[in-house]
Structure 1
Amino acid sequence: MQQKFNHQPHIGRRILAALIDYGLIYTFIYVFLMSFGTPTTMGGYSITGLPILIPIAFWLLMTIGLESGLGGTLGNSIVGLKAIPQNGRNRKLSFSESFKRHFLDLVDMSFLGLPAILLLKRTEKCQRFGDLWAKTIVVKMSSLETPATSRS
């Protein structure tokens, strides 16, 4: 069943959710590089070959996997937000919808998240680039009808 929402940007919650999600992802990548990487002449670490797929797989699991499999990323779940289709149906996103949302995270989070913040404030349904491409919205979980109430 479709719902009508009073669209709010939830900027503080969305920033906190992103900090949680990407804090975990970056921490994993850092530990992985320090544990399995080769020191470079510039003082960093690098990984080559197939092991480079491990951080990518972790990113896929923590963003797209959790969102399409369980209904939300860890960060969104902690702060009480959920991404749903923009038609307002309370359902988990498909792999494709979630992939589109998160593929553009780099663009949305560039320049300290300014592109996303500007779009959240200026679009009718408070969407960032990833949401616009995926045709999704982010709402408070508490605003969603439960399956029992949506049937009545």
Structure 2
Amino acid sequence: MTGYMKEMRKFVGHRTIIQCAASIICVDDNGKILLGRRNDNHMLGYSGGSVEIDEYVEDCAKRELFEEMGIIAKELEFFCVNSGPEAHYIYPNGDEVSNFEIVYLCRKWTGNPNSNDGEMDELRFYDPKEIDINQISPPIKKVVADYINKFGK
């Protein structure tokens, strides 16, 4: 954790914080999505993270995609907003968040999947039909399920 959220945790400890986040579901030419195994909860997830002060949401999403997955986004397409009780999460370290996450799809990108910041391992593209929703990190299960329902049939 860096930046704004790290500073806020100094004041509030593990108590619930509203976390404004930006994320990208990276899609290949075959409709497969890039997921990685998170090192904190060992579940699968797409790239994403907290927006820094005065950072454009789109820039945050692109930054997180590069940091966590080594991919450079060329174009973003709005997909959804993930919020509410399903997006509430307690991290393994005890930090609690109520997520307000803006999720984009990225179909035009460059690079090879590679974790630049060590937050994820086992990066690979998954066919939506092969994704076990029970292996998806809890606060993003609804988003992945919505993607599968919309594009995975």
Q: TM-score of the superposition, structure 2-length normalised?
A: 0.29
More strand by share: 2
Q: Which has the larger radius of gyration?
A: 1
More helix by share: 1
Q: TM-score of the superposition, structure 1-length normalised?
A: 0.29
